[in-house]
Amino acid sequence: MAKRRIYTAPGSQVVDISTGEARLEKLDGEADSYVLHVNGVPSSSITLSDPQRLDFEYLDWMRR
């Protein structure tokens, strides 16, 4: 299991994964929106109050 490291930056968590690290970061100005970065690259997002909101084009494409 990956060793979990939590940083003090508000709304940010970093987890070691088999290919590097994953970071979940809260979006500024968005009360309940987060972006997942894998090895420093924004990969996915979620808005808890609107889970059908897709900010990444590839996610919208997969939904169709």
Q: Report how far residue 37's alpha carbon sits from residue 53's, in angstroms, rounded to the nearest whole number.
A: 18
pTM for the predicted model, two decimal places? 0.68
Are 40 and 50 spatial neighbours (Cβ–Cβ below 8 Å)? no
- Domain range list for the chain: 4-63
Rounded average pLDDT over 42-56 = 85
Answer yes or no: is pLDDT of 4 > 70. Answer: no
pLDDT bucket at 13, cuts 50 / 70 / 90: confident
CA triple 10-42-52, angle to 5 deg: 90
